[in-house]
Every structure is written in structure tokens, then in C-alpha cells.
Amino acid sequence: MRTSLILVGLVCLSATHSFADNTLPWAEKTDAIGRITQMPIGFLGREELDVLVQAGEELFEAKFKKSEGAGRPMATAAILPTKARRLSKTAFARTSGPDAASCGACHNEPLLGGAGDFVTNVFVSEGFTNADFDSINPQFSNERGTNHLFGAGLIELLAREITTDLHDIRRNALKTARSEQKPTRVELTSKGISYGFITALPDGVLQLGEIDGIDTDLVVRPFSQKGVMTSLRQFTVNASNHHHGMQATERFGARWTGESDFDEDGMTEELSSADVSALVAWQATLRPPIVAKPDNAEWQAAAEKGKQVFDQIGCAQCHMPALPLNSLQFDDPGLFDVAGTLQTYQVEAPATYDLAMLEWAEALPRNDDGQVMVPLFGDLKRHTMTDSEVDAFGNELMSQRFVDRNIFITAELWGVASTAPYGHRNDMYDLTEVISAHGGDARASRDAYLALDEVLQQQLIAFLRTLEIK
Amino acid sequence: MKNNLKISSAITLVFSIGLSAAQSSEFPFDVPNMIEQSEQAGITHTYSGPWEYFVGGGAASFDCNGDRMPDLFLSGGKGKAKLFVNTSSAGGNLSFAEKALDIGRSNLKVLGAYPINIDNDAYTDLVLLRLGANQILKGGPDCSFTKANKEFAIKGGREWSTGFAAIWEGDNALPTMAIGNYVDRDAPGTPWGTCSPNMLLRPNADGTYSEPLALEPGYCSLSMLFTDWNKSGEPDLRITNDRQYYRGGQEQLWQITPGETPRAYTQNDGWETLQIWGMGIAEADLNGDGYPEYALTSMGDTKIQSLDEESDEESPIYRDIAYESGATAHRPYTGDDLKPSTGWHSQFIDFNNDTHKDLYIAKGNVEAMTDFASYDPDNMLLGGIDNKFTEKGDEAGIALNSAGRGAVIEDFNADGMLDMLVVNRKTNVNLFINEGAKTSWGHRPMGNWIKIELDNGDINKDAVGAKISVKTGNLTQNKTVQIGGGHASGQLGFNHFGLGVAERATIRVQWPNGDWSHPYKVFANNHVIIQRDSPSANYWYPAED
């Protein structure tokens, strides 16, 4: 791997501002846009990473301006570049978007990069049909709460390692089926998680009817409530268009749309690939939530017992307390995105930064094999969350990206104490309510919780209330 | 963020280094870098011969050994036709190994070849178009072939055959096959005004074929295609003809109704007289309305026909949109030779996987026609927005000084990017590997893609006549599975679609009998296998080294 060639053209604020060059100290503009003039590639040292992260943080909290490309009068929120049927009359729209001037407008509880209250709910639609979702009628969308992003880099690394494992299993199954000339059925397991079975046939055909909780390309998509987004980079490109009308060149630029100003707002190159890299770097390096040790001795004791209850009633089957991670080396762009989001092979070389350089990484627990045990309380797998009796999580109107309405990825519980209200719609006030809403695959654990005596229930809550973002 | 009016040169430079090395300002989409590697790949083969072989020069691409990698049968004209087995590794360089054909002298005088599974067994068969008796080759294990005219009771005829098309009519177990014939060399006054009739072969219930039905008059056909031009569900037969030799002829469209005698559409039906040096037909639904457009190659300008507003399901009225589409391709686009071009094979495909259909045209002087361009490079007309084409053959690397005839555009190394083999007259074939878009640091993949193999069941296994609909966002791409068209060249196997930036796609299939499938939801960059009535699609993966 070559050393980094990152070029950082810092905008120097000098005492000799010119009125003509739009650098007035009070100018309504985002200094961080375009600060990173070229995509970083190769290994980044701490200093280089810090510069990138700083730009990313400023972009994350920036209130984007119309003069910077905010707004998309002739484009929809769709992930695929899609023209609106008519010129939007409003700059902002709570349902079809753009619905925020900044990322931080919603991701801010308890800190920048955090979750959001009900008021920050977003309206999710494919944005293609159903009136192109240029309607302010929310019936064309699913309403979702804002997730926090702390530890997101670790989540993506886990997903990538699992995907790599599953692809290796697939490759070996196909090889065996071909060499032995008989069908080969194997389980898809990685890090203790089972994603069902595949059967490879001698002619190279892969039967996919038994996979469980994952897409047919066997790529773990860890982000969004639904578990349908591959990477921070993909989500950043999606969300920048959806929520702000800031269109990233790597998807909305002329290479794919034939237009340099796809949303027809008079601005081109609204978010460069280097800008996106900065946003990714900031999110990927966000420290993970912690398991706090309460000052109150009674709470401390209750939480310790509550952790045992958590395991005993089966919560930990899906909300797995920790998953082993082999490497803290983060590549951006990553390997598993496809055209429309930059991917490893679309660039000369990805930027590579080792999260172990960061102070918070020292506190991560490791197992005897030296693997980092990422305390996410999740399994990066999708599950059916409703049944005929418990169906509160079945309240969405539409499937999303091939995933049925009542199926969601296991919510990682790290940080849950800092991110009320709960549920994919952010409409459940407390932990007891959201636990009670678990049906489908989680029904047995939910029933077990409800059957506990009040003391044990409270101990479980005491434990969950220690999972904080700080 | 940049104001439209203030794009600084410095910023432009940054982006050109980082991302846009393969793009030009007038054509922003990726241009595939096609690298010729026939010699490296082990294919040495030339199509040659006297006057009778000025036309023809076809290739067939199909899987003959069950590994789903496309193998090649190449016509040789006066020389021997050859079979090349694909030994390429997935994503690697192209590699082929010649395999001997044990078919006697039937591998001589071959002008073209089309793959088709006539008898619905496990092996693809071949129809060889020849100077003299055409030959059915029945496919067997491990790329073996046996002559099968007798088995099917098919008389090869004595004509000079240059066109082929096939379709399964009604509930027939075997296909109806059309043979396009050229000049009748035995007729008085030949070759002027002496075109042989074309032939239609319909199957009997016992697995044999009836006496051929003459489609008269014939106007020296060079390509033909069964096409559902009016979405009736019953394809008719479109024939392009060479005005060089006919008298009073024109382009033809025959109404083919199962069990009935074919009838040529006339001016009374709205079919307007068009006289061109018709060499090849390509079909695609360019505007997504479900009705196909046709590219007709000729000497001089290429025609692209689209149904006119005055047409209806019984009135095939077309207008030429080649000029407004930027696709007349009437003379060489590079070099100093400004004389008219000579177009042969044509094919709509998506070379750069950007969802816009591209048009490839093989070019080459007939022999030594001084009124036409001598250096006549093949066209790679890349599609853009609003169905406009931009010529990028030179930039792509296919503007070679060879006389192209037939061609197959296939993904020979299963990497999702379409490669190409062009049969040339009197020089070695060109085999191009598509490396993706060229950048300052190497090559990068282009857009996403999907390849679809259909399994229609026991009869018409390859689902010839099926319509595939691929939906990504608001875009729907349509393709009909066809055998025929091009110039003496056919292919059978996966159906390729470029997906641009789409990560997933929804596929629906209208099977040959008209039944629609349910939607199949698939992820991009996969080889998809859809078996009729199967609840879900499967994926296929090429063997790895």
C-alpha cells in the first residue's frame, strides 16, 4: 500500500479578506466544503486522519446553504437519481424532504452524531413511484426514528468481516460441489451468527431458498433500522441527497446522470468524493457507547443481576453482547459497495486508517485471540418482529429494498440508555414498552420478560440503562 | 459545491485526476476500453473466399460444454469453420482452445451460424448457413456435434443462405425456422434481379419438418428476425434485403400466424417501400414503450426505425430516427477516407453498463469497391440521455483497419462487462476484452449489471420469444429473447443488462406463451437463473481457478 497522498488545502483565515472573493468572516457558507481537495488514498497517519475527521465533523454539523447546493428542486429523495415530476415549490418538506439543513439537526442526542427524538423522524420511501414521493402525504412512506452513529465504524468493520466469511463459505461450497459433482449444502455462519443455509450445485448454481436474515448476495448491510445499507459511505450519499439535497458527485454527477446539475438547483459538484470521505471518516471514528458503572450502589448491583437476566431470558440470542473483530483497519471506500457509491476498485486505492490509533480504542475489550470484542448488543441480522398476537412492529406501509414490512435488523443496544424514545418509529416511551412490543422471532424472550417478577424486570432495565453514549 | 458559472480550472483538474479520467466533457459516461487479444487468447481464424463470400462471415456464441461460459463457432467461408472452447477464467484474460469438428465437409462453405436448441434436449444445436446445403448440427456432450438434417427431415437446399431466424409457434415442440437466401446463381441473368426465395420450415408433430414453405418474392436477404413489432404476442418475420441485386424489391415484413400461410405486409397495410443495401438487423426497445426499434445496416447511412404515431397494431408504419439519434454512421468517423461506409452486423447492447443502449456496427468494404470507404472502422455508438448516440469507437480501441462482417458481443470472462468477437474478411478475427473505463491509474469497473438466463422448461428451454423486463427505480428495460438478426451471427445464453448505479433490480418475464412471471428481486452484479414457475431466482457463479 502506498503512503497517503492526501492534499489538504486548508482555508486560511487571514486578516486581509477581500469583499470580492466571498470570504467575508460573516459569510453564510460552510468552510469545510471542498477543504479536502482530493480523495485521500493509502495509509493515513493520525495527523492526516485528524484533518479529515475535523472536516467531516464540520460538514456533519454544517447548515448547508442554497448557495452550496442545498435543495433539490427537480430531484426526488430516491437513492437512484430520479427526476421530480414537477418543480418543488418548497425548499423543505417534512415528508419527502429535504427535511434538514444539517446532519446534526437530527443526529444530536445526547451528542452530535447521536440519535433523535420523535420530532426528528424521517419518512422513508424508495422515491420512485407512489407519486415519486413528491407528495407531502406521509402515506407513501415509512416513518422512522433517527439512529445514533456512535461506534458506526466498528459496526461496518464487523459487517465487512462477516460478509467476507460468508463469501468464503459460498466460494468453498461451489468449489466442493463442482469437484465432487454433487450438491453441497452448508450453513452460513460467522462470528457465531447463522444466516441459514445455501446449497451449491455441481454446475455452479447457488440455491438461496434457505438463507435467513440477509440479502441474496450475502452482503451484510448493517445500517438503517431495516438493515439495508451497506456502508457509511452509501448511507452518507443517500442521506445527503434525501435530507439536504446535497448531491454527491459520485452518484448524481455527470458520469451516471449525464448532467452536472442533476437536481437543477444551479449548483454543480455539491459534495465531492473527498467531502464524502471526510464525512465517512468522522462517522467511522466516532467512539463506541459504553457500559457505564452507576454511582449508585443499588443500581450497580441491580445492573449486574440484570445482565444475567438479559442472558437467561434469551435477549442475548439476538442482542449478542459482543462480536469479535479481527482488524481495526478501516478502508474507505470499502469492498462491498457497488457503482453509485465509490468502491475499492473504483479508485486508485482506498484510504486506510487504523481505528487503533484512536484513544477510545484502547478501552475496547479483547478476547484471548486478540480480537476486539465489540460490545454492540446486536447480531447484524434481520428478523421477523411480529406475529399474529404481537404486531406493534408491523405498522409500516411499505417494504423497503426487498425487505418485508415487519422485518428489521436487530437494533444494537449500545447507547440505548441515551436514545429514548424507542422502536423503529421512535414512538415507544420507555424500555418496558419496546420490550413488550417484540413479537415474531423475539416473542419467546419478550414473553419470558413479561413473566418475570417485577424485581427481575427492574434489574434488566437497570442493566439496559447503563448502556450509554458519553 | 460550485456555482454553475464559476467552475474553476483548478477544481476541474482535481476531479479529472481523481475520477474523470475516462470522461470527456461532451460525453460524460464511461467509455469501455476494448483491448484486442485474439492472438493471446488462442484464436487464429479468417473468413475468406471469392465473390460468394463477400457476404457472410458469421459467428455463433453459445455454451457447448455445460459450463455456462460462451464458446464460439466461427464460419470460414471457403476455408474451414472452427469451434473454439472458452477456457477463460472468471474476470481474467480471454482464452480459447480450438476443438476439432467431426462433421465432414460441412465445415466448408459456411457463411453464418446460429445456435438454437431445436430438439429440447440438454445440448445446444447449430444451424449452419452455407453456400449450398445448409446443415443442422445436433449438439452433444462436451462440444460434440453430429449432422442432423436427416433426423429432422430437413433438406438443406442448394441456395446461398445468409439469414436465419427462429421462433416457437403456438404449442409446437419444435421451432419454426426461417432461412434467408441471397442471389440465385443458377438463374438466367444472375446475379442481377435473381434472388432466391426465402424459406420457412415448420415442424410436424413427429419431430420432423415439413417441406419448406417459400416466402416469395425473395429480395436477396442478408438478415432476418422474428419480432413482435406490435405487441400482439405473435412475432412476424422482418427481413432486410440487399438492393445491390434485387429488382423492384424492398425491405419486408411477413405476417406469420400459426397454422396459416405467411403474408407479406404491403403499402395497403402502411408498410412503406424502403430500398437499402440491407446487411443486418438489430432490435431493442430504445424508448421503453414496449415496442421495438430496429437498426438496419446498409451501405451509406444506417437506418433506425421506430413505430410512427400513425401506426397501429395492423399497420407497421415506421419512421427513421437515425439522424435525430446521431446514429447514421454513414462514413468513417476517423481517418481521411470520407467515402460512405459499409455496415454489416449490428447489435444493441450496453457496453458500459450505464443503462443506455449502445449500438455496435461492424464495418468493412465489400471487397474493393472504390466508391466506398476502404478504411472503415467499426462503430461503437454509445447511448446517452434522450436516446442520443455518440461515436466512441476510436476511443474505445475498436477502430482497427479490418473488414468486419459478423460479430458476437458477449461476456466471455463472466465479469459483467461485454467483450466482443468480430469476424473479418481476409484477416484474423478481432477479439476484444472489455477492461472497463480507462483512468490515469488503470481501469475501473463501469456501471452495475445483471445477466439473466431463462429456463422455460421442457419445450423451448431457452425461452426464445420471452420478454424480459428489468426495473430499477423508474427505469424499465425490455429485451426479447431472440434467435436471428445481426449479420449471419447469433448467440444464446445469458441476457445482459446494464444497471448503472442500481444496487438491485426487479425482473419480470413474459414467457413465450404469454404468461407473466411474478417479480423476481435480485441484486446487481450477479448471473441470475430464472426457472419458469420457480418462486425465487438463483444465482450462478463461474468456476474459479
User: pLDDT (tens digit, 9 = 90+) per residue, A96-135?
Assistant: 899 999 999 999 999 999 999 999 999 888 765 544 555 5
Answer yes or no: is pLDDT of B110 > 60: yes
- pLDDT band for B386, please (50, 70, 90 cuts): confident
Distances (CA, A) of B337 to B273, B279, B366, B371, B375: 31, 21, 15, 11, 7
Distances (CA, A) of A402 to A223, A283, B510: 15, 27, 21
User: Which of B435, B503, B536 to probe by mutation at the A interface, max A CB count within 10 Å?
Assistant: B503
Given a contact cutoff of 8 angstroms between Cβ atoms, the answer to whether A381 and A214 are in contact is: yes
Given a contact cutoff of 8 angstroms between Cβ atoms, the answer to whether B192 and B247 are in contact is: yes
A:177-206 residues touching chain B, CB 8 A cutoff: 178, 203-206
- Contacts with A340 from chain B: Cβ below 8 Å: 448, 500-503
Say what the pLDDT of residue B357 is. 97
Show the cell assigned to B212. 419448406
Record: contact B1-A250, CB cut-off 8 A: no
Model's pTM, two decimal places?
Answer: 0.94
- Distance in Å, alpha carbon of B540 to nearest chain A alpha carbon: 4
Classify residue B197 by its DSSP letter.
Answer: P
Distance separating alpha carbons of residues A70 and A88, to the nearest angstrom? 13
State how far Cα B166 lies from the chain centre.
Answer: 14
Tell me: the pLDDT tens digits for A354-382?
999 999 999 999 999 999 999 999 999 99
| Among candidates B18, B29, B30 on the partner chain, residue whose Cβ is nearest the Cβ of A273 | B18
Cα nearest neighbour of A252 on chain B: B501
User: Which of A72, A255, A257 to probe by mutation at the B interface, max B CB count within 10 Å?
Assistant: A255
Average pLDDT over residues B448-458: 98
Interior/surface letters B493-506, b for 16+ CB within 10 angstroms, e for the rest: bbbbbbbbbbbbbe
Distances (CA, A) of A73 to A88, A265, A339: 5, 6, 25
Say what the pLDDT of residue B25 is. 53
Share of chain A above pLDDT 90, in %: 84
Average pLDDT over residues B366-389: 95
| Among candidates B4, B441, B504 on the partner chain, residue whose Cβ is nearest the Cβ of A268 | B4
Average pLDDT over residues B30-57: 98
In chain A, domain spans: 153-207, 290-326+371-468
| Among candidates A255, A267, A401 on the partner chain, residue whose Cβ is nearest the Cβ of B28 | A255
Sole residue written with cell 491509474: B441
Say what the pLDDT of residue A272 is. 98
What would be the CATH architecture of the domain defined by A290-326+371-468? Answer: Orthogonal Bundle (1.10)
Cα nearest neighbour of A214 on chain B: B523
The pLDDT mean for chain B works out to 94
Is A129 in CB contact (< 8 Å) with chain B?
A: yes
Sole residue written with cell 433523535: A116
SS3 letters across A281-317: HHHHCCCCCEECCCCCHHHHHHHHHHHHHHHHCCHHH
Least confident of A19-28, A444-453, B366-375, B485-494: A19-28
- pLDDT band for A396, please (50, 70, 90 cuts): confident
Which runs of E-coded beta strand occur in B63-210?
A: 71-74, 82-86, 96-99, 110-116, 125-130, 135-140, 144-147, 161-167, 176-181, 198-201
Report DSSP letters for B233-297, one per residue. Answer: SS-EEEEEEBTTT-SS---EEEE--TTS--EE--GGGT------B--EEEEE-SSSSSSPEEEEE
Answer yes or no: is pLDDT of B22 > 60: no
**Is ipTM over 0.95?**
no
Distance separating alpha carbons of residues A77 and A130, to the nearest angstrom? 13
Say what the pLDDT of residue A107 is. 97
Record: contact B2-A267, CB cut-off 8 A: yes
Say what the pLDDT of residue A24 is. 83
Say what the pLDDT of residue A138 is. 65
- Distance in Å, alpha carbon of A170 to nearest chain B alpha carbon: 10
In this structure, the strands spanning B504-510 and B520-523 are antiparallel
Tell me: the pLDDT tens digits for B413-427?
999 999 999 999 999
Record: contact B2-A269, CB cut-off 8 A: yes
Answer yes or no: is pLDDT of A3 > 70: no
| Among candidates B30, B473, B544 on the partner chain, residue whose Cβ is nearest the Cβ of A82 | B473
Average pLDDT over residues B440-454: 97
Say what the pLDDT of residue B8 is. 34
- Distance in Å, alpha carbon of A120 to nearest chain B alpha carbon: 26
Answer yes or no: is pLDDT of B21 > 80: no
Say what the pLDDT of residue B530 is. 98
Distance separating alpha carbons of residues B320 and B307, to the nearest angstrom? 9
Given a contact cutoff of 8 angstroms between Cβ atoms, the answer to whether B139 and B60 are in contact is: no
| Among candidates B1, B353, B475 on the partner chain, residue whose Cβ is nearest the Cβ of A69 | B1
Cβ within 8 Å of residue B494, ≥6 positions away: B68, B411, B451, B452, B453, B527
Share of chain B above pLDDT 90, in %: 94
Say what the pLDDT of residue B5 is. 33
Which runs of E-coded beta strand occur in B387-534?
A: 389-391, 404-410, 419-424, 430-439, 442-444, 448-455, 467-472, 475-480, 483-484, 490-491, 495-500, 504-510, 520-523, 526-531
Answer yes or no: is pLDDT of B10 > 50: no
Distance separating alpha carbons of residues B520 and B534, to the nearest angstrom? 10
Record: contact A269-B23, CB cut-off 8 A: no
Record: contact B3-A37, CB cut-off 8 A: no
Say what the pLDDT of residue A135 is. 59
- Contacts with B1 from chain A: Cβ below 8 Å: 33-34, 67-69, 246, 267, 269-271
Report DSSP letters for B352-397, one per residue. Answer: TSSSS-EEEEEE--SSS-TTS-SS-PPEEEEE-GGG-EEE-HHHHT
Record: contact A270-B1, CB cut-off 8 A: yes
Show the cell assigned to A381. 441480522
| Among candidates B1, B441, B544 on the partner chain, residue whose Cβ is nearest the Cβ of A348 | B441
Tell me: the pLDDT tens digits for B145-166?
999 999 999 999 999 999 999 9
- Contacts with A255 from chain B: Cβ below 8 Å: 19-20, 23, 28-30
Distance separating alpha carbons of residues B377 and B363, to the nearest angstrom? 6
- Distance in Å, alpha carbon of B498 to nearest chain A alpha carbon: 11
Tell me: the pLDDT tens digits for A42-58?
999 999 999 999 999 99
Cα nearest neighbour of B501 on chain A: A340
Answer yes or no: is pLDDT of B16 > 60: no
Cα nearest neighbour of A127 on chain B: B473
Average pLDDT over residues A405-424: 96
In this structure, the strands spanning B59-62 and B490-491 are parallel
